[in-house]
Structure 1
Amino acid sequence: MGGNKNWIPVRGAQGVHSRQAHADLPAGTYEREISKEGFFGPAAFLYHPNPPTGWSSFEGPLRPRAFDLNGLNEAAGSPWNAPKVLHNKSVEVRFWKLSGAMPDLARNADGDQLLFVHSGQGDLFCDYGRLRFEAGDYLYLPRGTIWRLAPEGQAAILMIEATNGHYTLPDRGLLGPHAIFDPSILKTPEMDEAFKDHQAESGEYPVRIKKRGEVSTVTFPFNPLDAVGWHGELAPVKLNVRDIRPVASARYHLPPSAHTTFLADRFVVCTFAPRPFETDPGAIKIPFFHNNDDFDEVLFYHAGDFFSRDNIDAGMMTFHPSGFTHGPHPKALKNMLVQTKEATDEYAVMIDTRDPLDVGDGAASVENHAYVDSWKAR
């Protein structure tokens, strides 16, 4: 997310402030972090007598936005027909609902594909075999893989495409390679009996290939998922959010970057999973107010109780463009002072993009225009 840069050297302090970030705030103040490189670069911490999001009005395209993706009711057999939610030159996000098995095969020739299963269960058939999937699964598909989803009934998928790019795992540094999740938990497809039965089905097989945003169709008189074996270091994999063990600190609220799951060329995908609340009496116990001015921030809410947001339910998405201060809702601030729970109870997918995102027609059709007012004091 970050990188080696020769920043202008600054070290200073003025007025009333805490000795350390995110801890022991001066009485009656709200901390605001201004940082570079998604919390990896230099930062300043300012202390205000009023909540930095306490605006009385917010007009213009920079306003925070929220979308209820549950309202996208139209099912699409092809992933390339799914409503577009957010996009830029490096990433394309769609929300895809299926009412049954895909009638055709798909192939993405533009970039790696990441499918997050919001609801439903079934089988993924691909060049490499079969993967069983369920809600909470990330399904990683390398560019060029031929694949087909066969859910058992309804399914809803958040698709995150690394346009003209690829996914990698983050460097976990001093934590070591087995922290957060051990790579051995990643499951690859199997060429089992169910896969062989799928291979044996007769008929014609159209493959819908997306390249440069356009779809071509290649039709085979046999099932092109006909490989009899494979080996190597490149394959689809599955990771469930329940297998993610987030890092936590009893004395310091860690930034979202600590929860990075996948890296791409110009964006990251993070996962918020249940974790213990900070127990130190001086530590901030909720996301802090911040200016993350180098990245747009997107959160898709999958399941649980989203403690930093009010009136946000599973299947909704929030979008905070870079360039303004944001942070917890007023209700979350009040709850922090009387927090009785020992741990969070939420699963959410976060997408941080270095390049500005455009809102697609799908998201615009299900926007909650009152979201910008949810920070107003009640």
Structure 2
Amino acid sequence: MANRNWIPVRGAQGRHSRQAHADLPDGAFEREISKEGFFGPAAFIYHRHPPTGWVGFEGPLRPRAFDLNRLNEAAASPWSAPVVLHNAAVEIRFWALAAPMPSLARNADGDQLLFIHRGRGELFCDYGRLEVRAGDYLYLPRGTMWRLAPAEPMSILMIQATNTHFTLPDKGLLGGHALFDPALLDTPALDEAFRAQQEAPGEHRVEIKKRGQVSVVTYPYNPLDAVGWRGDLAPVRLNVADFRPVASHRYHLPPSVHTTFLSDRFVVCTFAPRPFETDPGALKVPFFHNNDDYDEVLFYHAGDFFSRDHIEAGMMTFHPSGFTHGPHPKALKNMLVQTKPATDEYAVMIDTRDPLEVGDAAQVVENPDYVNSWRPAP
């Protein structure tokens, strides 16, 4: 983020906390309004009622939820997988793959991130072979030629950095080995299984996506025929079980602290099990906030999603920028005291700087009642 000369304000009125997200005035609910996600100036408003206690909500700003489990028609090509959300900087698809890909794929539109939600199998690519399983992130640099061979049916969240790259976040004072050690990033191997697949007879197709259109190149041999490679660019694998989230026992940290991959106009974050805050005055649930600069997307992978009700693995929520949101009423009951020592959820968060459009396929599997899930119980 570029340095900005923000308009200087230092003010306070009425009953308020001296520390954000802790020691709230009795009976009050805190709402954060901030710039640049959680990195710019912020104000904290203390309300008598939960800021999400609406009884009606109409218009395109409404929060939305999609049950991606229902997008279960297997597609042989990733470029046939349905688009869930998209804008000029990112494309999010959900792909059900039941059998080995009959053709190779290559994305010329940008770097690709595959998150394996379910299943296991093998990735074959220009650089060799990798075994993959549920919970794996697979980073595929733009232009990589690849195919997946499932050992069991797979469900895959696909995130494209359109016309640009994925990088790692600057971990700052935490040091380069926080969140995950780069030594955990596995690269493909030119092993015996990779060499064996080079001998597959017949013609081999490569489906290349560029500007959203697919071109097909056919070879009389298997083009995954590398005998070696060197350099500092390659696909990598990282499993969410190896992600070690930052925790604070006295302060509820914003979700951006879990940033795992960066792109130019969006970030990808990982929610993994962590201890709840133990300070008596600290919030133990996400704080109410207006994220007026980013659309927020959350894909639920596994576990018990402590801040959401009626959400299951394989579902995705979409909160447009400008929408005030926070924990559901059931979770809000545990705002200051939790019933267990730690979270046990895994989820992938995507925050985009530009507004997202909803794909046709996502609208078919939408839960239109999601907007009412914040209503207080009668």
TM-score, length-normalised on structure 2?
0.99
Shift of 1:268: 0.2
Shift of 1:337: 4.6
SS at match of 1:80: helix
Shift of 1:338: 4.5
Write the distance in 2 (CA, Å) between the matches of 1:110 and 1:274. 34
Q: Is the 8 A contact 2:283 2:336 kept in 1?
A: no
Q: Deviations over 1:154-191 (max 9, x none)?
A: 10000000010100000000000000100000000000
One-letter code aligned to 1:92: E
**Alignment-derived partner of residue 226 in structure 1:** 225
Q: Deviations over 1:264-304 (max 9, x none)?
A: 01000000000000000000000000001000000000000
Shift of 1:241: 0.1
Q: 1:21 to 1:338 in 2, by over 3 A?
A: closer
SS at match of 2:152: coil
Q: Where has structure 1 moved over 6 Å in runs of 4 or more?
A: none
**Alignment-derived partner of residue 151 in structure 1:** 150
**Alignment-derived partner of residue 112 in structure 1:** 111
Shift of 1:202: 1.3
Q: 1:280 to 1:337 in 2, by over 3 A?
A: closer
Shift of 1:6: 1.2
One-letter code aligned to 1:292: N
**Alignment-derived partner of residue 200 in structure 1:** 199
Write the distance in 1 (CA, Å) between the matches of 2:177 and 2:297. 27
Shift of 1:153: 2.7
After superposition, where does 1:27-106 map in structure 2 within 5 Å?
27-106=26-105
1:215 and 2:228 are equivalent in the alignment: no
After superposition, where does 1:1-378 map in structure 2 within 5 Å?
2-378=1-377
SS at match of 1:196: helix
SS at match of 1:70: helix
Write the distance in 2 (CA, Å) between the matches of 1:12 and 1:75. 56
One-letter code aligned to 1:149: L
Write the distance in 2 (CA, Å) between the matches of 1:110 and 1:248. 36
Structure 2, gaps ≥5 residues long: none
Shift of 1:5: 1.3
Q: Deviations over 1:19-60 (max 9, x none)?
A: 110000000000000001110000000000000001110001
Shift of 1:231: 0.8
Shift of 1:362: 1.3
Q: Percent identity, aligned pairs only? A: 77
Moved more, 101-110 or 337-346: 337-346
Q: Deviations over 1:125-156 (max 9, x none)?
A: 00000010000000000000000000113100
Write the distance in 2 (CA, Å) between the matches of 1:3 and 1:367. 37
Write the distance in 2 (CA, Å) between the matches of 1:200 and 1:184. 32
Write the distance in 2 (CA, Å) between the matches of 1:345 and 1:12. 38
Write the distance in 2 (CA, Å) between the matches of 1:250 and 1:204. 59
Shift of 1:320: 0.1
Q: Deviations over 1:304-350 (max 9, x none)?
A: 00000000000000000001210000000113354221100000000
Structure 1, gaps ≥5 residues long: none
One-letter code aligned to 1:260: T
Write the distance in 1 (CA, Å) between the matches of 2:208 and 2:16. 56
TM-score, length-normalised on structure 1?
0.99
Write the distance in 1 (CA, Å) between the matches of 2:288 and 2:99. 43
